[in-house]
Amino acid sequence: QPVLGILGGGQLARMLALAAAPLGVRALVVDSAADACAGQVAELVKADWTDYAALEAFAGQVDVVTFDFENVPADTAHWLAKRVAVFPAPRALAVAQDRLAEKTLFRECGLQTPDFKAIDTRAELDEALALIGAPAILKTRRLGYDGKGQFRIRSLADADAAWAALGAQASAHGLILEAFVPFERELSVIAVRGRHGEFRTWPLTQNWHTDGVLSLSLAPAPDVGALQDRATELARTLAEKLDYVGVFALELFVKNGELLGNEMAPRVHNSGHWTIEGAVTSQFENHVRAVIGLPLGDTSARGLSAMFNWIGELPDADPVLEAVDAHWHDYGKQPRPGRKVGHATVCAPNASVLMERLGGIAHALGRDQQVDAALRAVAK
Ligand code: ATP
Ligand code: MG
Ligand code: MG
């Protein structure tokens, strides 16, 4: 029985392990926390990223290693890759860990990005602001997620406050200043590339964020026209340049009808959770297939899906459990402010049925406003 090693034991590892089981693949997860939620459904090794004795034993027990957590130190990934197959390869991981390398690669692939400039000192922040202007966003180059490590600069007078918030991280991780994009909408494309270069994408997903955290996804994104093929080709170019193996997500802004690259995630992605029930093959199953070296499955959508993220704590499950073709996911995590603790996906064969189903549970979910936004997008 093939054994899939997963670095990081959060909800992504948990859903990977659940998708691996029917394929006859067993998951072995590494996390420094003994209560990592993937440990409820898979065997867990408690170790941190520099515990090379534990990692040596782990490498000896698995056939392939992959990631639930994109910020595993590059040194650890390289060290493991000398002992066992690691997908995606450490080089691809390293690019996706650094917003500067990532945006530079996007441009090389023909994907435009917001204007950006690397910042190491307070003086460089002033220079970059003079060039890029406000509004802008100062971000750490590394280790940010869920909108953490970011400061929104509304006017030039905010430069001091931005530096007070993030300047201390400039020497260790580097910073990047990005122009703020007044986007029409946010989309993501989830893509998968196999060990022999086979490539597929799921239909584009439209995403809504609240305080920098994904809160709602709708797929297939309505009314994308030629953007679907354009996003697929960009994702393919990117994957081939990185010799990428596995699932990844490319987060996009649409401005004046054109795509701009925000960032890529070198792993299964929150905006792809709808694929569990809403696509013929889920992102989790296809990631397992890709890294193990099995044929990839069909990425078509079965109909329309809306996915709600539960942040901080879970709401009452009953309205979802009682609704038609609605699916509940409890990650088994302790509630904590800002933490992703679960999600729900509502599926339907077409837009009008989805609107009806969402309308029926929006209030119970406490998501009236967002459901309105999704309904407006679907109704267009
Ligand atoms: P993730 O959890 O997706 O990894 P992250 O912390 O890496 O998040 P980003 O994706 O850079 O953060 O930003 C989070 C959200 O903030 C974006 O999805 C978008 O809504 C908004 N945002 C980020 N950068 C910009 C920008 N340059 N212009 C406008 N909005 C932005
Ligand atoms: Mg990110
Ligand atoms: Mg993001």
**Residue 137, ligand 1, Cβ within 6 A:** yes
Q: What is the pLDDT of residue 130?
A: 95
| 118 labelled ligand-binding | no
Q: Which ligand is nearest to the CA of 96?
A: 2
Strand partners, 369: none
Q: Which ligand is nearest to the CA of 184?
A: 1
Query: What distance in Å separates the CA atoms of residue 92 and residue 86, rounded to the nearest whole number?
Result: 11
- How many A from CA of 236 to the centre of ligand 3? 19
Residue type, 325: D
**ipTM metric:** 0.98
**Residue 342, ligand 1, Cβ within 6 A:** no
Q: What is the pLDDT of residue 82?
A: 98
Nearest atom in ligand 1 to 148's CA: 6
Q: What is the pLDDT of residue 172?
A: 86
- How many A from CA of 19 to the centre of ligand 1? 28
| 297 labelled ligand-binding | no
Residue type, 271: S
Q: Identify residues whose C-beta is under 5 A from ligand 3, the ion.
A: 251
- How many A from CA of 61 to the centre of ligand 2? 30
Give the CATH number of domain 115-179.
3.30.1490.20
**Residue 52, ligand 1, Cβ within 6 A:** no
Q: What is the pLDDT of residue 370?
A: 74
- How many A from CA of 212 to the centre of ligand 3? 8
Give the CATH number of domain 3-86.
3.40.50.20
Q: Which ligand is nearest to the CA of 260?
A: 1
| 342 labelled ligand-binding | no
**Residue 147, ligand 1, Cβ within 6 A:** yes
Nearest atom in ligand 1 to 114's CA: 27
Strand partners, 279: 301
> Which contiguous run of DSSP H or E holds residue 102?
helix 99-108
Task: List per-residue pLDDT tens for the chain, 380 residues long.
Answer: 999 999 999 999 999 999 999 999 999 999 999 999 999 999 999 999 999 999 999 999 999 999 999 899 999 999 999 999 999 999 999 999 999 999 999 999 999 999 999 999 999 999 999 999 999 999 999 988 888 899 999 999 999 999 999 999 888 889 999 999 999 999 999 999 999 999 999 999 999 998 889 999 999 999 999 999 999 999 999 999 999 999 999 999 999 999 999 999 999 999 999 999 999 999 999 999 999 999 999 999 999 999 999 999 999 999 999 999 999 999 999 999 999 999 999 999 999 999 999 988 888 777 777 777 777 777 76
Is the pTM above the cut of 0.80? yes
| 228 labelled ligand-binding | no
Are 25 and 1 contacting, i.e. CB atoms less than 8 angstroms apart? yes
* 282, two tokens: 């889920």
Pairing of strands 3-7, 64-67: parallel
Q: Closest Cα to atom 9, ligand 1: which residue?
A: 147
End-to-end CA distance of the chain: 49
Q: What is the pLDDT of residue 119?
A: 95
| 223 labelled ligand-binding | no
Query: Would the CATH topology of 3-86 be identical to that of 115-179?
Result: no
The angle at the Cα of 5, spanning 11 to 276, to the nearest 5 degrees, equals 40
Closest CA to 41 of 66, 70, 84, 6: 6
Domain 185-379 has CATH 3.30.1490.20: no
| Cis peptide bond N-terminal to 315, omega within 30 | no
Nearest atom in ligand 1 to 146's CA: 2
Mutate to test the pocket of ligand 1, among 262, 309, 370 (most ligand atoms within 8 A of CB): 262
Nearest atom in ligand 1 to 213's CA: 2
Strand partners, 201: 191
**Residue 263, ligand 1, Cβ within 6 A:** yes
| 241 labelled ligand-binding | no
| 324 labelled ligand-binding | no
In the chain, where the domains are located: 3-86, 115-179, 185-379
- How many A from CA of 62 to the centre of ligand 3? 30
Query: What distance in Å separates the CA atoms of residue 150 and residue 178, rounded to the nearest whole number?
Result: 10
